[in-house]
Structure 1
Amino acid sequence: MSSIPVSSLASAVPGGVQTPTDTAAARTRGLVKTYGRGPAEVRALDGVDLTIERARLTAIMGPSGSGKSTLMHCLAGLDSPTSGEVEVAGTGLGDLDDNALTRFRREHVGFVFQAFNLLPTLTARHNILLPLDLAGREPDWRRFDTLIEVLGLADRLSHRPSELSGGQQQRVAIARALLSSPDVVFADEPTGNLDSRSSAEVLDFLRRSVDELAQTVVMVTHEPTAAAYADRVLLLRDGRLAGTLERPTAEDVVTAIAGLDA
């Protein structure tokens, strides 16, 4: 991918990169999520208190069944907690009805999934623009052009997903997630279906979107090499926050995960 100067990316944000007054992009307090009842009850989240800081890449890791995907779904408003509070961009999600929550996600949250979630009948361009089209919002064409250039998609905009490689499809999904300048982008195993080269390209751009666009990214991953791109790694075990790592190496992550399994 081509290297775009910091100033070019920053200028694609209205007013340039700004320092927000509130450093928290999202918070949880006493977050509990259970499935089932009685003896069959599973406590996927067990009183999680955390703060996701703005303009940082936060990775969520833990053993299988630790609650990392459930935590992301509750943070993103895709699932409702059993109890506790979730706040995103200063809004308590528990205060919103279904329609208001749908609007909130559309206006404030971006998503990048392992399965890409592109519509097969639409071109790359139309897939990128789809959320704004559905919301009846005019795209920021300057930001669109910048994202397309940085992600190397200029010659792929007329292609349908079946005509794109996995890495190209994920870059389309990232452009779609970032175009609306969301408060938080949630990335659920974004490199899970990619080869090592495509994974590195996708992770590099997520990292640059934080450093150069002041984007907030929360990423669930099981890959230590992916987590090493993060500013902060949240470690979960049995539905509880078991520790954090700041600017870790892949080796730091491997050691920490091994400690959780011990």
Structure 2
Amino acid sequence: MTSAPPVGGRTELRVAARTVGLVKVYGSGEAAVRALDGVNLDIHAGKFTAIMGPSGSGKSTMMHCLAGLDAASGGGVFLGQTDLTRLSDRDLTALRRDRIGFVFQSFNLLPQLTALQNILLPLELAGRQPDRQWLDMLVGVLGLGQRLGHRPSELSGGQQQRVAVARALVTRPEVVFADEPTGNLDSRSGHELLTLLRRSVHEFGQTVVMVTHDPAAATFADRVVLLADGKLAGEIFRPTQDSVLDALRRLGV
């Protein structure tokens, strides 16, 4: 990755996902918008990475391409050794189901299902049985033991987001992608959620990639990747709120 000098130390790390010369163009002709412009990025395994940048910088597009939710216009996108750009729609669907977890701002829980049914849905769709020990640990860590029979309408926003986190982790995915996960939460619930994501990384070895605009949220990450105008604009290791704010100010945010 070519960028400004990182803040903090760095050691060689295993790569869970990466982009190689990633280009994403929306539209065509004079109306074409180049959302990503030749981006090379490694996502480190077992680490919490935050992606930040000004509005329109390409951060959400980057996550959607990495997660196989949006097709690249050029370059490569890899999950492990799998090049997503070479997969059929059916294979991409199976990859997202089996190897990727998602946490969205809007929770995306099915209202007719209980919390437990929502958590187990990815496994049910894949025709797999849950690892009961792993499930019980997730439920305990997330404090959902007394809420498993409740439907989303009977849960607070913070509780719904914890269910979404459990759903994302229950398959033990290679990478969890979180898109502005605290956007619909109050400050306390948001802090609890970020703490849980960080615990999933540091205690369970999970790989998490989060898009956020919030400098305070970014401090929970091990590394912040900065984008501007569809290109890499720097990275910060062991971010603090001051270091993130300074970096964003340099980008005109």
Match in the other structure for 2:105? 114
Task: Confirm whether residue 205 of structure 1 aligns to residue 196 of structure 2.
Answer: yes
Task: Confirm whether residue 25 of structure 1 aligns to residue 16 of structure 2.
Answer: yes
SS of match in other structure, 2:209: strand
SS of match in other structure, 1:111: strand
Match in the other structure for 1:139? 130
SS of match in other structure, 1:233: strand
Shift of 1:95: 1.6
CA distance in 1, matches of 2:69, 2:117: 24
CA distance in 2, matches of 1:100, 1:237: 32
Relative to 1, partners in 2 of residues 1:75 and 1:147: Cα closer, same or farther, differing over 3 Å? same
CA distance in 1, matches of 2:165, 2:144: 11
Does the CA contact (< 8 Å) of 1:123 and 1:161 recur in 2? yes
CA distance in 1, matches of 2:62, 2:171: 24
CA distance in 1, matches of 2:109, 2:69: 18
SS of match in other structure, 2:216: helix
Shift of 1:94: 1.3
CA distance in 2, matches of 1:123, 1:187: 22
Structure 2 counterparts to residues 1-262 of structure 1, below 5 A:
23-261=14-252
Instruction: Give the gaps of 5 or more residues in structure 1.
Output: 1-20
Instruction: Give the gaps of 5 or more residues in structure 2.
Output: 1-11
Report the residue type matching 1:253 in the other structure.
V
Report the residue type matching 1:245 in the other structure.
I
Shift of 1:89: 2.1
Q: TM-score, normalised by structure 2?
A: 0.94
Shift of 1:143: 0.5
CA distance in 2, matches of 1:175, 1:249: 27
Does the CA contact (< 8 Å) of 1:89 and 1:108 recur in 2? no
Shift of 1:39: 1.4
Report the residue type matching 2:239 in the other structure.
P
CA distance in 2, matches of 1:148, 1:77: 28
Report the residue type matching 1:49 in the other structure.
N
- How many residue pairs align between the two structures? 242
CA distance in 1, matches of 2:124, 2:17: 26
Shift of 1:22: 7.5
Report the residue type matching 2:118 in the other structure.
N
Identity %, equivalent residues: 64
SS of match in other structure, 1:115: coil
Report the residue type matching 2:63 in the other structure.
M
Q: TM-score, normalised by structure 1?
A: 0.91
C-alpha RMSD of matched pairs (Å): 1.1
